[in-house]
Amino acid sequence: MAQWQEVQQLPPAHLERVHQLYTTTALPMTVRQSLADWIEDQDWYGGHHGGEEDTHGAGGGLRGAGTEWSRRQQAAEPFSSHARMLFHSLLALLGEHLGSLGPGDEDFMLKHNLRKARIDLQAAFEEQPENLANLVANLLQEERRILRRAQAKGQVEAPPAPSVAPQSSREQEIQQRLAEFRTALQEAERAFRHLEDMQDAFDFSYKMYCQTGQDHSRDPEYLQQVQALQAKLQSLDRQRREVVAQLQQLLGRSETLRDFLQQELSAWRERQQRSCLGAPADTCLLQLQGWFTALGEGLFQLLQLRRGVGELRQKVTYSQDPLQTELPLLEKRLQEQLTCLLQSAFVVEQQPCMPNTPKRPLVLRTTNKFCTRARLLVHLYDRNHRMEANIHIDRSGGTHRRHEGERLSTSGGGRNRASGKGGGPSVPRGVSGPLAVTEELHLITFTLAYAYCGLELKLETSTLPFVIVSNNNQLSSAWASVLWFNMLSPNPKASSPYAVPTTPRPHTPS
């Protein structure tokens, strides 16, 4: 096992020593993590292990001292060249690793830290790369020392064999249906290529024998060729109908798959809502993103296939052509499917939360920073189209382009916008009497102009309702409103938790 993997499996007490080690060194742990295998494969001593002292006595005199100095100087020269080579290799690998990171939010901070580390390392060790080689060698040696101490105390357990979490029956069914959908899509593409070949053969024969401009109605050979063309046209018609039937079958499969994914997404939304109230729940989106992306890829391939079939109709058509009657309906159904999939795939991954109260999201304070994040689960983007999410608070305020670090202002618009003195703003909202500021619910809406493979859509998603307060003594009341709403209200876009009589929602065990 690699040394860095063993280090990461250390008990907390020894792992804390590793953190302290990298806190006080010039090599960031981010670099150690990103280039772990390469760092451990290099010879950072460069064959120059000069840690042992000379055990000879002073009897050698000046001659012996001069010989030792010459030997060490000659040994230092190749070590310097070796260290410089390692230094530039490390910088080059960091640059390659930066280029391989994607544009997602997960890699944003990593890219920033690696870029800063690369600049700092270059500035610190450009003149004397031997210092970097000695630094890394000492770090590796210190890691091994910590590992030996942990092993001596018997606190390092053998790493468990990697095990895959058992999938539920629903997950297995989704995986199986995705595999069947991909297989059917491949068969449809093969049938389409066969249809192209058949149409090219028919088109060539038709131009050869039926567009000469001469009358061959009495020529037996010509009549035989016309009969052969009629047979080819019938075969072409059958192949077109088969391709259309396969496209319709694929649309049916994708509709069923989308229904399954919608159920999984609804379950995730419920888990996220419970986690906002403090319940332990798995809100990871990686598996859902994989499923949505796989289905999105299939639907866009189906869209390209349908366009290819439409081009065939432009070249050759005839009476009762199935492409002329069926393709418009297929196009409409496919557009609807893609629209529904993409709209549902645009979700709020992180609900509004202030950094100083991470366990109590959905309660924000004026003039304080907060963070919220949206995510598109269909990971398909057009590099030529820059997508940028616009953010609106309650739709009545201005558009905010920054979603992290944005400050709330009492002068901004709200769903219950009004101004007052003392107790804060309040407006009537379908109940007798005004709402207190701790009962006003607000929404942040993300809008995204999406474009891919010629399809352009406007996607929209909203956060859960949250409360904005101005004083710390309002936090408890605001949190009570959040709890009340999320436990009882079935409508996430309701304007007030007390506007209509509520029905308790069924509780799903976490």
The CATH number of the domain holding residue 132 is 1.10.532.10
Q: Are residues 89 and 107 in the same domain?
A: yes
Q: Do 339 and 361 lie in a common domain?
A: no
Task: Supply the range of the domain harboring residue 185.
Answer: 169-344
Check whether residue 220 and residue 286 sit in a common domain: yes
Could you tell me if 447 and 459 are in contact, meaning their C-beta atoms sit under 8 angstroms apart?
A: yes
In terms of domains, do 380 and 469 share one? yes
Q: Are residues 79 and 145 in the same domain?
A: yes
- Under DSSP, the state recorded for 368 is -
Comparing CA positions, the residue from 443, 488, 492 lying closest to residue 466 is 443
Task: Write the CA distances from 109 to 28, 106, 114, 391, 500, integer angstroms.
Answer: 14, 7, 9, 22, 44
Residue 246's pLDDT is what?
93
Domain boundary among 127, 152, 177: 152
Q: Of 121, 152, 183, which one is at a domain's C-terminal end? A: 152
Regarding whether 360 and 337 lie in a shared domain, the answer is no
504 located within any domain: no
Q: In terms of domains, do 337 and 400 share one?
A: no
Q: At 498, give phi and psi (nearest 5°).
A: -120, 15
Q: Which of 195, 306, 320, 198 is nearest to 247 (CA)?
A: 306
Q: Is residue 293 part of a domain?
A: yes
Domain count for the chain? 3
Structural domain contains residue 55: no
- Asked if residue 203 is part of any domain, the answer here is yes
* Residue 65 resides in a domain: no
Q: What is the CATH number of the domain that holds 224?
A: 1.20.1050.20
User: Do 375 and 399 belong to one domain?
Assistant: yes
Q: Are residues 252 and 364 in the same domain?
A: no
| CATH code for position 470 | 2.60.40.630
Token pair 């790369």 is found at 129
Give domain status of residue 409, yes or no: yes
Q: Which residues contact 349 (CB under 8 A, 6 or more apart)?
A: 285, 373, 374, 375
53 occurs within a structural domain: no
Same domain, 399 and 448: yes
Amino acid in the structure at residue 337: Q
Please identify every stretch of the chain with a pLDDT value under 50, giving residue numbers as ranges. 49-75, 155-158, 161-164, 396-433, 498-510
> Where does residue 356 rank: exposed (0-12), middle (13-18), buried (19+ CB within 10 A)?
exposed
Q: What is the CA 16 to chain-centroid distance, rounded?
A: 31
What is the per-residue pLDDT across 462-509, written as a single tens digit (0 to 9) for each? 999 999 988 888 888 888 888 888 877 666 665 555 444 444 444 444
337 and 371 together in one domain:
no
Residue 188: its pLDDT value, please?
A: 92
Report yes or no on 302 lying in a domain. yes
| Same-domain pairing of 360 and 475 | yes
- The span from the CA of 298 to the CA of 296, in Å, is 5
